[in-house]
Amino acid sequence: MRRRTFLQALGCGTGLLVMTGGARSYAANEKLRVGAIGIAGQGTYNINNVVAAGGQLVALCDVHESRKEVVAMRQKFPDVPFYTDFRRLLDKEKLDAVIVSTPDHTHAPATLMALRAGCHVYCEKPLTHTVHEARLVSETARKYKRVTQMGTQIHAGSNYRRVVEWIESGAIGEVREVHVWCGRSFGGVDRPKDTPPVPEGLHWDLWLGPAPYRPYHPSYVPFWWRRWWDFGGGTLADMGCHYIDLAFWALKLRHPTVIAAEGPTPHPESAAVWLIVHYEFPARDQLPAVKLTWYDGGKRPKYFDEPGLLPKWGDGVLFVGSKGMLIADYSQHRLLPEKQFADVPRPKSSLPESIGHHREWVEACKNNGQPLCHFDYAGPLTETVLLGVAAYRLQRPIHWDAARAQAINDPQAERFLRKEYRRGWEIS
């Protein structure tokens, strides 16, 4: 899509919002000066896409200097300054925008510092590590009028748009029940007892950041930090924003009122091998109340017990309506029963194709707009996901007062809604 076409689309149902102030405008050929915090893995993907969309990479930061992807990125951009501490990067560099692609436990500290430094922010999912952080980050982005996007890139795909159009068309009737499942399992492990040496080039204390100190172990870096409460939140925290996003979008969900979880006895340090979480959402305008259930670690909805009813997809979202059902995953969807909907015409397209998740953000930064997964949308989505983690760890339902961002008549829930930070890493 050409830039002019994109600008015309701002008012044509894409979900991009025009901001009323607080950010400067850019000339058509002016580059957006971008700093990247977290280079390897998803960081490489994000950097490459932002640069391809017209961002100018002017600063790099990663705590693992010797990691292959970090070395490769520095060789690709040899003249770009490199840091191991994002606090120094944000303090020294003059930036327009920042990409945050670090483990979950450092999302909020990096994002908040960037927002307060006047930077637009693209942050990976989940937006934060705790419910309290999610509320603080979304409020801070709103206060400073920054352009934001959470890294749920599936949101930009054509398939999700078509599902939203089917649900909004009323083809399957009123939707009061949604099931979301993910076959992955991150958790169920004990803290390792051995203490191998820290690999050369890994700044372990900086990797820990706000988390309590513990010795290095490859059980944490580079991938399996997801299993541990100090750094991640298991499968739900890792994947929930991707899949629950579709229900949030299609049904205009925002804040649940009741959250209850099932799972094995909670481990004090690592996430559950499986979870089932029940969310209750109130009615919204003309839309009825909704019960949404999340499953992971091999658990799935009861509808899979009925032979031939559902395709055997490993992950997915099932909307149960008064006239039928719709099942979807990242790339495909079906209306069920298929015979019933065989001759039903596809609804008129109301959601234009995305120019790309990263390009949406870059263009919005330049044109004083907001992309679809801005933090006012991503914040409540992340809160919802992390409330499921909190209810599981609390071992009783949470009755949620969204206006006050607190559990009703349950002060003990606070220990799972927020966290303590190591000295020097506090946020407010």
Q: Residues of 159-194 as b/e, b for ≥16 C-beta within 10 angstroms?
A: ebbbbbbbbeeebbeebbbbbbbbbebbbeeeeeee
> Alpha-carbon Rg of the chain, whole angstroms?
21
Query: Is 91 contained in some domain?
Result: yes
As a whole-number percent, the residues of the chain with pLDDT over 70 amount to 93
Lowest mean pLDDT among 11-25, 71-85, 115-129, 248-262: 11-25
Residue 419 has pLDDT above 80, yes or no: yes
pLDDT confidence band for 30 (50 / 70 / 90):
confident
What was the pLDDT predicted at 312?
87
Query: Is 216 contained in some domain?
Result: no
Residue 15 has pLDDT above 50, yes or no: no
Mean pLDDT of 344-354: 96
Query: Is 11 contained in some domain?
Result: yes
For the domain that residue 127 is a member of, what is the CATH number? 3.40.50.720
Query: Is 45 contained in some domain?
Result: yes
Distances (CA, A) of 377 to 301, 374, 406, 418: 27, 6, 19, 20
Query: Is 133 contained in some domain?
Result: yes
What was the pLDDT predicted at 11?
34
Query: Is 421 contained in some domain?
Result: no
Residue 406 has pLDDT above 60, yes or no: yes
Structural domain span for residue 55: 3-155
- Number of structural domains (the chain) is 1
Query: Is 42 contained in some domain?
Result: yes
Residue 254 has pLDDT above 70, yes or no: yes
Mean pLDDT of 174-194: 96
The DSSP code sequence of 304-353 is GGSTTTS---SSEEEEEESS-EEEE-SS-EEEESHHHHTTPPPPPP-SPP
Q: Which residues pair with 181 in a beta bridge?
A: 295, 316
Residue 24 has pLDDT above 90, yes or no: no
Query: Is 275 contained in some domain?
Result: no
358-382 tens-digit pLDDT: 999 999 999 999 999 999 999 999 9
Mean pLDDT rounded to a whole number for the chain: 94
The rounded Cα 336 to chain-centroid distance in angstroms is 29
Compare 387 and 20 and report the one with higher pLDDT: 387
Look at the pTM and tell me if it is higher than 0.75. Answer: yes
Residue 393 has pLDDT above 50, yes or no: yes
285-290 CB contacts, 8 Å cutoff, 24+ apart: 285/252, 287/174, 287/251, 287/252, 288/174, 288/175, 288/176, 289/176, 290/175, 290/176, 290/177, 290/178, 290/247, 290/251, 290/253
pLDDT confidence band for 306 (50 / 70 / 90):
very high
137-155 tens-digit pLDDT: 999 999 999 999 999 999 9
What was the pLDDT predicted at 8?
38
What was the pLDDT predicted at 27?
59
Mean pLDDT of 376-402: 99
pLDDT confidence band for 14 (50 / 70 / 90):
very low
Residue 3 has pLDDT above 80, yes or no: no
As a whole-number percent, the residues of the chain with pLDDT over 90 amount to 91
Mean pLDDT of 231-239: 98
